[in-house]
Amino acid sequence: MATIKCIGILTSGGDAPGMNAAIRAVTRSAIYHGYAVKGIMRGYKGLVTNEIVDFKSGSVSNIIQLGGTILKTARCKEFTTPEGRKLAYENLQAAGIDALVVIGGDGTLTGAKIFAEEFDVPIIGLPGTIDRDLGGTDHTIGYDTALNTIMESIDKLRDTASSHERLFFVEVMGHTAGYLALYSALASGAEAAIIPEMETEVDQLGELINHGFRKSKNSAIVIVAENPETGGATALAERVKKEYPEYDARVTILGHIQRGGSPTARDRILASRMGEAAIEALREGQRNVMIGIQNGQISYVPISKALRHRKEIDRDHLELVKILSI
């Protein structure tokens, strides 16, 4: 393998609080070990359009506390084509970049895997996603901040739910993973969490109404993981109106507010550790791995394994929501 002299950094996909802390850690760790660093703007789109800038230590000053990503992020249809990736590789070579650190979720790592296979580029991935839906790591950058944002929103919403004696469905992000829904339900004292992992096993709404939601309660909050296939919280509220008209059901969709805000201490520390570990991985000759955290320790996870594996929801925690909601 050719000697690495210059490392490129990009963020891609949905932004997540803590990405800037990761950018800072990658940049300064690389400079500390004598590497040149270049920032690639707007993710893979910046590789295709050649938006590549020199990064110095000062480039990442005063950003650890910021949400979002100073490198920006964008969708890039061109990168999904062989022609687009070839152009990206040519721009990479012209910029003198020998290795990449990419920060993002499953879509970002999927692009990294394909790019690495086609052009033999050493790539290290950092799991930057609020969904916590990648394998090989106990936590992802941004998850803790998003969880706290949801909890604070539900705390405020409960005041209105109690005042108006309503059943509130609160839709949170997560797509095919119910971690945000389940653990925000636990943290906020919600009456139930309706998550994708349980959809084929039980009628979660029917179980809530018939068993989990006592008539003596004059209000309830149910956390629902977004789900394009089933319609999420809106579809559940419509069903309540038809099947359980005695309940006044309302919907609150938190949306992209979950992605924003200053990262928590936990996300800043996690991103800093992972960013430094990405440079250590390259120094050790690692390639095409994602940096994970398992039992508090840094681990190297093949990107293919991180994408293929899906962690199981802890059913005991789901049962705990039910027990504590009586």
For the stretch 216-225, pLDDT in tens is: 566 789 999 9
- In a domain? residue 324: no
- In a domain? residue 326: no
pTM of the predicted model as reported, rounded to 2 decimal places: 0.94
CB 317 within 8 A of CB 186: yes
Q: Distance between CA atoms of 15 and 124, rounded to whole angstroms?
A: 18
Q: Distance between CA atoms of 150 and 148, rounded to whole angstroms?
A: 5
- For the stretch 55-80, pLDDT in tens is 999 999 999 999 999 999 998 999 99
**Best CA proximity match to 93, nearest among 55, 121, 51:** 121
> CATH number, domain at 285?
3.40.50.450
In terms of domains, do 223 and 281 share one?
no
- In a domain? residue 64: yes
Domain interval for residue 223: 144-259
Which amino acid, 175?
Answer: H
Backbone angles phi, psi at 255, to 5 degrees: 60, -145
In terms of domains, do 121 and 14 share one?
yes
Centre a 10 Å sphere on the Cβ of residue 216 and count the other Cβ atoms it contains. 6
Centre a 10 Å sphere on the Cβ of residue 79 and count the other Cβ atoms it contains. 21
In terms of domains, do 114 and 20 share one?
yes
In terms of domains, do 10 and 112 share one?
yes
Which of 131, 133, 144, 267 is labelled catalytic? Answer: 131
Q: Distance between CA atoms of 292 and 1, rounded to whole angstroms?
A: 24
In terms of domains, do 64 and 117 share one?
yes
CB 318 within 8 A of CB 208: no
In terms of domains, do 134 and 154 share one?
no
Res 217: pLDDT? 61
Question: Is position 98 annotated as part of the catalytic site?
Answer: no
Count of domains observed in the chain? 2
pLDDT < 70: residue spans in the chain: 1-2, 199-202, 210-218, 309-311
Token duo for residue 78:
């061109």
